[in-house]
Amino acid sequence: MPVLGVDGEPFPQAAAYVVEPGKAPRSAPFAVAGNRKAVVYLHAKDRRLTYQNARGTRPLTPPLTDADVPAVTFKGRFVVMSGDGAQVIDTRTWAPLLTAGAREVHDVNAAGVIVTKGDRVLVLDLKGRQRMRLPVGKGGDTYHLRPDGGRLVVIRWAKQRAETYDPATGKRLSAVTYRFPGDDWLENVPGWSKGGRFLLHSAYEDRSYSLDLATGRLTPR
């Protein structure tokens, strides 16, 4: 079995694969924090999802069967685990966020979490209390909560449209169309910058743009 590595160093405690009955082996979850100071992995021996940084390790789950191993991603200080359901763990407090019944986590930060539950997209605070909700859009829509919780931006990829909402009231504040120069197109959505701008990243030119949420104008950064 191959040995995973981090920054060129061996990481043999992490499982490389999970094997579900009747299915081909797939890669075991292995997520690296954005600041590269922590990882979450499936422990090769005890089969727990485990958080590790320079101060040590912390199990995030009980031992799991391979069929129950979720996908794992970092969103800032939060660890998102998505499988049959979705769970979010705050690595500052180690408290799991109350997202029972959620089947997808779109965004999470200190102001709240955005999840899909049933036929609705919900904006919740970190105690699981609902702030606003929207109907589930067509595939590919992405949802981005401003770090202070004051705005929600929905990117409708298929329509090249950005919608801005006030989570406190649920009111839509704007809906604008954006257009990249020439034949360029949207590659990904970095979302809110530290300076408060909303960013989009293009594919062909491989550059970031600041999106004016009131007009749809894109300004290269």
Select, from the ranges 9-13, 66-70, 126-130, the one with the highest average predicted confidence (pLDDT). 66-70
Give me the percent of the chain exceeding a pLDDT of 70.
Answer: 95
CA distance 47 to 195: 41
Q: What is the pLDDT of residue 9?
A: 58
The DSSP code sequence of 25-94 is -EEPPEEE-TTSSEEEEEBTTT--EEEEETTEEEE-SS---GGGPPEEEEETTEEEEESSSEEEEETTT-
**pLDDT tens, residue by residue, 22-36:** 889 999 999 999 899
pTM: 0.84
For the segment 61-90, the average pLDDT, to the nearest whole number, is 91
Mean pLDDT of the chain: 91
Q: Is the pLDDT of residue 139 over 80?
A: no
Q: What is the pLDDT of residue 86?
A: 84
pLDDT at 165: 98
Predicted pLDDT of residue 6: 56
Average pLDDT over residues 171-194: 96
Report pLDDT for 40. Answer: 96
Q: List the domain boundaries for the chain.
A: 1-69
The per-residue pLDDT for 71 is 93
Would you place residue 1 in the very low, low, confident or very high pLDDT band (cuts 50, 70, 90)? Answer: very low
pLDDT at residue 97 in the model: 83
pLDDT in tens, 142-167: 999 999 999 999 999 999 999 999 99
Position 45 pLDDT exceeds 60: yes
Q: Write down the pLDDT at residue 2.
A: 54
Higher pLDDT, 148 or 7: 148
Q: Report whether pLDDT(4) > 90.
A: no
Cα 130-111-196 angle, rounded to 5 deg: 130
Q: What pLDDT, on a 0 to 100 scale, did the predictor assign at position 173?
A: 98
Q: Vertex 42, ends 41 and 48: CA angle to 5°?
A: 120
Considering only CA atoms, which of 125, 123, 129, 85 is closest in space to residue 104? 85
